[in-house]
A and B are shown apart, each in its own frame.
Chain A
Amino acid sequence: MNLLSLHSLTVRRGECPVVDGVTLSVGPGECVGLIGPNGAGKTSLLRGALGLLPHEGTSNLSRMAPAARALQAAFLPQGRDIAWPVSVEDVVSLGRGPHLRNDKADAAAVTRALARMGLESYRHRTATQLSGGEQARVLIARCLAQDTPLLLADEPVAGLDPEAQIKTMQVFEGLAREGRAVVASIHDLGLAARHCTRLVMLHQGRLVADGAPREVLTDQNLAQVFGVRGYHAETEDGPVFLPMGVVR
């Protein structure tokens, strides 16, 4: 059973398609990195898939009623937005909104999400007074508390320190091992290569490569899509990839 299935998904801004006929299926156990240069259509793809943008083609998520979709997929938007000075615990609890109220289960899910993101000691802090990276982690914890089979995250590790970046990617890997699925747009190709089970590469709205990290991050793809060349190696700690220079 696919958790996400898009067929010929096209999102237009005016006349111009920013996502152009993308067909994509993601099943349980996958941690998918959505990569592509700025303006490739990563955010529009995620928002279109959820039905937050008008689109052509089909998406299994956008067909659902909002309440049902909220139980199927959690979404971390790119903008880190916390409008009011609420506590960290209250922000994370918002992830429980779509579920039928059950105080015990809700409290357990919130505690679990805080623990997973290493935020236990932040529980009673005011979210708006935290640093940007800390707020980002709180918002990821909110998505975890939603406890959905699928997580769509728009640049979840942007602005995090190295430790938090690695830990966050490990949380995503853990979700995949539990039989859930994660689709995360990500600019750090090294992190993507190390932690994702599969990479999906977008270029000018089109899906240009889809497969295991080593198959997607080829010299040709990197040059054509990103305009960079990179360094690959296999180490005891797993694959290493580092962009080394520009080619155009």
Chain B
Amino acid sequence: MTRVFWLLAGRVALLFFASLLIGPAALGLGESLSALFRGEGGPVVLVMQEIRLPRAVLGLMVGAALGLSGAAMQGFLRNPLAEPGLVGVSSTAALGAVLALQSGVAAAFALALPLAALTGAGVSVLLILLLAGPRGGALSLILAGIAISALAGALTSLVLNLSPNPFAAMEIVYWMMGSLADRSMEHVWLAAPFMVLGMAVLLATARNLDALTLGEDAAQSLGVDLNRLRLMVVLGTAAAVGASVAVAGAVGFVGLVIPHLLRPLMGGRPSLLLPASALGGAAMLLAADIAVRVIAPDQDLKLGVLTALVGAPFFLHLIWRLRGVEA
């Protein structure tokens, strides 16, 4: 298992550097790497520090946040079909961003859009804690999440529906496909605190999620405070995923597929799956973000489109392999 961790970490490091080195501007290897650490301006320094570095760092963080949140959510709900968006964070964050795009606030200053998305994520957390109640079980959490997602989705459609401006509508649709193109270090600094905090909270649930393998009663008798655990999972996911959506839009399937893929390698244990899924998610997102640049350099292929396009058939393959085992 330690070997798997090293393999994953190595792959993430490799992909991170590949992400730094691949792009439309043909730069030499030594030249680009040294430009990262140089102080003075110049086109190469600009490309590396202002374009590629934020993109690679965001790929790393967003992937890790999505993978980790997916693993935590599956562990908490004890359901392999759970994904980070289940509690409604992604769709409300998207709604916040859509409102910002539609109203023109997004154009007011650079970080208006991600801030609006973060606000949306915050609203969803308040709503979900209100709806599911302080002592609500897993089921009320799922149902509240579904209701909030449906409402946010409907409101997003309403905004698109009534949009008088076709360009704003197009912008919204493209934004919702998810992308890491043209992000700046400001995006990194905005999202990083939320993601780091959220991921730290999620990683702290590891032992309790292990105990929850045996059901809620057994976990409680093993000393797990279920209400506290639920609060940690909801807040951690909201912070990590809300910040991801704020800077990258909706990137699907990472949080669902990665924990699935890595679970057998971790002996099924949720506590080991958390860090493994963070690494796996980062690797998948970095790889996908490199792929969109390599496959169609001139077409601006959206990241979320690619992850779903690769993720869904892969998921089907997993189900196909599982069908004999589960029966």
Contact = CB atoms under 8 A, between A and B. Distances in A.
Interface stretch (B3-11, B194-202, B221-229, B299-307): B221-229
B263 to A, nearest CB: 7
Contacts of A137: none
A183 B264 CA distance: 37
B325 to A, nearest CB: 9
A77 B218 contact: yes
Nearest to A75: B221
B214 interface: yes
A127 B218 CA distance: 16
A73 B221 contact: yes
Contacts of A55: none
A97 B214 CA distance: 13
Contacts of A84: 78, 213, 263, 268-270
B55 to A, nearest CB: 35
A168 interface: no
A146 B221 CA distance: 10
Interface in B203-223: 207, 210-215, 217-218, 220-223
Interface residues of A, number: 31
Contacts of B217: 47, 52, 75, 77, 79
Nearest to A73: B221
Q: Label chain A's interface by main secondary structure.
A: mixed
B267 interface: yes
Contacts, number: 79
Given A67-B223, A70-B221, A98-B222, A79 B215 contact: yes
A217 interface: no
Given A81-B218, A84-B269, A70 B213 contact: no
Contacts of A86: 213, 267-269
A161 interface: no
A35 interface: no
Contacts of B207: 97
B218 A75 contact: yes
A82 B214 contact: yes
A94 B267 contact: no
B268 A85 contact: yes
B219 to A, nearest CB: 9
A74 B221 contact: yes
A219 interface: no
A87 interface: yes
Q: Of A70, A84, A95, which is in contact with the most chain B CB atoms at under 10 Å from its CB?
A: A84
A85 B224 CA distance: 21
26 contacts: A52-B221, A66-B224, A66-B225, A69-B221, A75-B217, A75-B218, A76-B218, A77-B215, A82-B213, A82-B214, A83-B212, A83-B213, A83-B214, A83-B215, A85-B268, A86-B213, A90-B268, A90-B269, A94-B210, A94-B214, A97-B222, A98-B222, A126-B268, A139-B218, A142-B214, A142-B218
Interface of B: 78, 207, 210-215, 217-218, 220-225, 263-264, 267-270
